[in-house]
Amino acid sequence: MSMEEDISMEEWRRRNIGTMNAEKLPAYNGLSVCRGFFIMQRVRRTVEGEFTEGLDGSGVTVAVLDTGLGGHPDLLGRPVCFRDFVGRREQSYDDNGHGTHVCGILCGSGRLSGGRYRGMAPRIRLVVGKVLDSRGDGRTDAMLEGMDWVLKIREKYEIRILNISVGIGSMREADKERVLREKVDEIWEKGILVVCAAGNKGPGDGSISAVGGGRAVTVGCHDGSYGLDNPGRCETYSGRGEPGGFMRKPDLVAPGTDIISCNVHCVKIGGVFRNAYVAKSGTSMATPLVSGAAALAFQKHPGMSNEECRQGLQFTATDLGLPWNRQGWGMLNVRRLLG
């Protein structure tokens, strides 16, 4: 079990040198941003996330099982509980950076960027479980322990959503895959909306993450009209369902290429924060966009069930005209969801 591979902006440049003609812009908080790379504003336009009706996720708690959570200024005040299922430490930390980046997409305040890189639902409460190590790898047992923990504390923290931006490929041990899916179903039965990444093992048919074939809302990656000339865009490796399969997956798609969010290696030097943000790509980045949109929906409709929210996400998605196993119901559409 691992977070698979989320590609940083620097690595993307290395792999694709000579293929981009983007004009380089000045460094911003330690991040050299190129015109054409996704920033959160562009992502919002793609998913019509600019129309949030003043909603910010207040009163909604989202659990995240990932590599942990670092002390980024954009995430101050968001976590209400942390548990380490890897190193058994007491204090919140992230020795990889994946979890911090995911949480930034979900609920970063954008404080260090003047709001430019704020998350989808910047006022939610965060419950974070560390189930992956410094390399982004993890044991199935740690994930199951984290899921049981979410079930145990769900009422205390009023958890409405569980975000799993962890790609789990096809397992050699079918029984462990079955247990994971059963645990996802158990969490769903308790009323929690489970949102998981489709994984980065595509584009082959049936390449959806092992936990993505059950009742969870499975999120694939598509960037709309952005980056069509980019051979490394996440659509090209996003996990896909089985054509005509009994369980039609993914449920929907969201942008996931060059998503700028909180960098766990942010440091303060001479009173100025450096390396505050970093760009990553993958279905891991698309998933918290959907979780954040769902948090806004739960804020607007507190009595909404997880099944009603799932249907809302599906039925309001924008059809991209692609085969079902590539787009599901289509692109996340926040305006319609909240309409």
Q: Which of 109, 207, 281, 284 is catalytic?
A: 284
Using alpha carbons only, give the angle 144, 150, 155 rounded to the nearest 5 degrees.
150
Question: Which residues partner with 62 through β-bridges?
Answer: 126, 161
Six token digits for residue 276: 């505050």
Residue identified by tokens 């039965």 is: 189
C-alpha Rg value of the chain to the nearest Å: 18
- The amino acid that residue 167 corresponds to is G
CB atoms within 10 A of CB 205: 15
Contact 166, 129 (CB under 8 A): no
Active site residue 98: yes
List the one residue out of 197, 206, 43 whose CA is nearest residue 120.
Answer: 43
Q: Which of 72, 98, 101, 222 is catalytic?
A: 98
For residue 6, what is the DSSP state?
A: P
For residue 319, what is the DSSP state?
A: P
Q: Which of 56, 66, 95, 251 is catalytic?
A: 66
For residue 204, what is the DSSP state?
A: S
Contact 230, 12 (CB under 8 A): no
Contact 82, 236 (CB under 8 A): no
The rounded distance, in Å, linking the Cα atoms of 97 and 308 is 33
For residue 211, what is the DSSP state?
A: G
Active site residue 284: yes
Active site residue 94: no
The residues assigned a catalytic role are 66, 98, 284
